[in-house]
Amino acid sequence: MPENAAPAVDTVAGETGPAPAGRAPSVTETVDRLSLVQALKDFEVANARVLDLTHRLTELNQELLELRSTHEKLRIEHNKVLARRAAPRAAAEAAASQALRVARAVKRRMR
């Protein structure tokens, strides 16, 4: 059980003492007492589950943030690699384009 959970309820006020005026508790009083004890135990279990689920959700959210960060870093690195691979081709295309422009200019002047 998580450390934040309330301690188990073992007794309920009036549970250990006899009914007033020395009479035995009625069936209704006994059932009410047992129902209250069971409701308190059910609440304790539900509360423990909520705390556990909250803890798990927090951990998974942190993991998600770390994975998103890693993904973004890898995406940036991938784009850098693609840019480095494309740079020689772009330089070659620029040089070829420049050479073509020079050739056309020379051809025009020779006319």
Q: How confident is the model at residue 19 (pLDDT cuts 50, 70, 90)?
A: low
pLDDT of 13 reads 46
Residue at 9 is within a domain: no
Residue at 6 is within a domain: no
Which residue is associated with the tokens 């509360």? 47
Beta strands in the chain (DSSP E): none
Q: What is the mean pLDDT of the chain?
A: 84
pLDDT of 7 reads 52
Q: How many domains does the chain have?
A: 1
Q: How confident is the model at residue 69 (pLDDT cuts 50, 70, 90)?
A: very high
Residue at 95 is within a domain: yes
pLDDT of 86 reads 80
Residue at 15 is within a domain: no
Residue at 60 is within a domain: yes
Q: 22-66, pLDDT tens digit by residue? A: 788 899 999 999 999 999 999 999 999 999 999 999 999 999 999
CA distances from 20 to 24, 28, 34, 35 (A): 8, 15, 18, 20
CA distances from 69 to 24, 45, 72, 74 (A): 67, 36, 5, 9
∠1-45-58 over CA atoms, to 5°? 65
pLDDT of 3 reads 52
Residue at 32 is within a domain: yes
Contact 7, 43 (CB under 8 A): no
Structural domain harbouring 71: 20-110
Residue at 4 is within a domain: no
Residue at 27 is within a domain: yes
